Amino acid sequence: MLLAIDVGNTNTKFAVHDGTTWRGQWRASTDPRRTADEYAPWLSEILALSDLGFSDIHACIVSTVVPQALFNLRNLSRRYVNAEPMVIGEDGLKLGIEVRIDKPSEAGADRLVNAVGAFVEYGGPAIVIDSGTATTFDIVAADGAFEGGIILPGINLSLQALHDAAARLPRVEIRDPGRIIGKDTVSAMQSGIYWGSIDMIEGLCRRIKAEYGQPMKTIATGGVASLFEGAFPSIEHFDQDLTSRGLLEVFRRNGGTL
Which residues form the catalytic set? 110
Q: Are 197 and 222 in contact (CB under 8 A)?
A: no
Cα separation, 34 vs 44, in Å, equals 15
Task: Measure the CA–CA gap between 88 and 108, rounded to whole angstroms.
Answer: 10
Q: Quick one: CA torsion of 237, 240, 245, 248, rounded to 10 degrees?
A: 180
Per the CB < 8 A criterion, the answer to whether 174 and 224 are in contact is yes
Tell me if residue 89 falls in helix, strand or coil: coil
Give the single-character DSSP code of 13: E
- Nearest 5°: the CA angle 217, 128, 164 is 140
Sign of CA dihedral 8, 13, 14, 15: negative
**125 prior amide bond cis, ω within 30:** yes
Q: Are 137 and 125 in contact (CB under 8 A)?
A: no
Phi and psi angles of residue 13, each rounded to the nearest 5 degrees, phi first: -105, 130
DSSP state, 228? G
